[in-house]
Structure 1
């Protein structure tokens, strides 16, 4: 199985932290508002955050009333930030790849994942385990890079974004702050099919785009109106 802990690469980590500090990426502008809009009421909920990073979402969930949040991430650097920034005892962190997490059946009310699932090779297997962790009526809310982006990462031209090799699913190698960042491309149909095969019921699917007003403030966001950058899903265990 192909795995990569790129967030512990010093060059990548430095570049990524600068991106977040300057709020110049998609997290604050597009992804987090769209993800949080899909969240159910979390008051009293037991939550798992897969790919928790610096713990910002975990902290927001406890502030919203979650009973407990388990943040899971393979990066020691990101978890060091998370622990330093978290004081609430309802939040705890474990250094693990999402694929290695094991939890009791029907022990969780909500699983969230922010921009992490495109790093998972065996997404179908992970979704089966997530479905088993959820109590009946529990939810998965996740964001990932949109398949039109992962299909041909970084390909653009003067005429716009180039979508190529969309039907060829599998590993993709790209450069983002460091060489050979590994992601996994799968079609939208494959993502939805894997959710259904895991026994989950799809209740929302979103491809958020910046508003024209947002583009006026940040011209770099225009490309995300030309083609979707993100795919978000909400699914429930019956």
Structure 2
């Protein structure tokens, strides 16, 4: 099922205002981690799936990529991207976009795959698009974040201190519905083993896995990020396409 949250005006404005603060989980946890795992971008042909405002897309083009293709389902998000001579943007869902075999040296995706229902199908298609020895680097919400069916957040004590994060339904993969700016946001929970094994079955070798914590600047500006040591928000995976 394709889900286009970001063209919902309420959700879009909430998300846009949040990202413009530059004081977010993305800025202090996820983006530093995913950028650290990028290979040398010089002369690479890159695909960014779920590119959003094009921030990572632009970063890669500015840091040596020969060409970057950004794909996003949201017209509103793509309208905010910055024009760049080495970037092309495609308005499409990840489920529908098509590319030729071996078209890219590197495929990246930032916090988008947890919106995709059929993870195996997507990985099968991505594997065909990547040249042998090319890379797939992506972040997604950590399996422990989406484990609980209720999606009600931290368990707290009488003084509102965080005690623990519920993962009671970890083994029950599938749809999770939560409130995030609007009601009815749908994400898909997958076990860590599923994330790994689907990659392996589709011809990838896992090179590195990161469960990142905040950079020091983030802890200064968002002290609550210390709770990432209790429960990681994200997992970032770097995999190489085998021959």
> Contact 1:155 / 1:163 at 8 angstroms: preserved in 2?
no
Cross-structure match for 1:39 = 38
> Contact 2:28 / 2:217 at 8 angstroms: preserved in 1?
no
* Consecutive unaligned residues in structure 1, runs of 5 or more: none
Bigger mean CA deviation after superposition, 213-222 or 148-157: 213-222
Bigger mean CA deviation after superposition, 44-53 or 155-164: 155-164
Distance 1:33 1:192 in 2: 22
> Contact 2:213 / 2:232 at 8 angstroms: preserved in 1?
yes
Compute the TM-score of the two structures, normalised by the length of structure 1: 0.95
Cross-structure match for 1:15 = 14
Q: Residue 47 of structure 1 aligns to a residue in which SS?
A: strand
What is the CA distance between 1:211 and its match in structure 2?
5.3
Distance 1:213 1:104, change over 3 A: closer
Distance 1:39 1:124 in 2: 23
Distance 1:213 1:81, change over 3 A: closer
**Structure 1 residue 230 and structure 2 residue 229: aligned?**
no
Cross-structure match for 1:103 = 99
Distance 1:71 1:184 in 2: 23
Among residues 184, 195, 199, which one is paired with 1:195 in the alignment?
199
Distance 1:37 1:69 in 2: 18
Cross-structure match for 1:120 = 116
Q: CA RMSD in A?
A: 1.3
What is the CA distance between 1:150 and its match in structure 2?
1.1
What is the CA distance between 1:217 and its match in structure 2?
3.9
Q: Residue 165 of structure 1 aligns to a residue in which SS?
A: coil
What is the CA distance between 1:216 and its match in structure 2?
4.7
Among residues 139, 148, 161, which one is paired with 2:135 in the alignment?
139
Distance 2:240 2:20 in 1: 34
> Contact 1:44 / 1:67 at 8 angstroms: preserved in 2?
yes
What is the CA distance between 1:66 and its match in structure 2?
0.7
Among residues 131, 153, 156, which one is paired with 1:155 in the alignment?
153
Q: Which has the higher helix share?
A: 1
Distance 1:12 1:99 in 2: 22
> Contact 1:202 / 1:234 at 8 angstroms: preserved in 2?
yes
Cross-structure match for 2:176 = 172
* Consecutive unaligned residues in structure 2, runs of 5 or more: 157-162
What is the CA distance between 1:222 and its match in structure 2?
2.1
Distance 2:18 2:187 in 1: 19
Q: Residue 195 of structure 1 aligns to a residue in which SS?
A: helix
What is the CA distance between 1:90 and its match in structure 2?
1.2
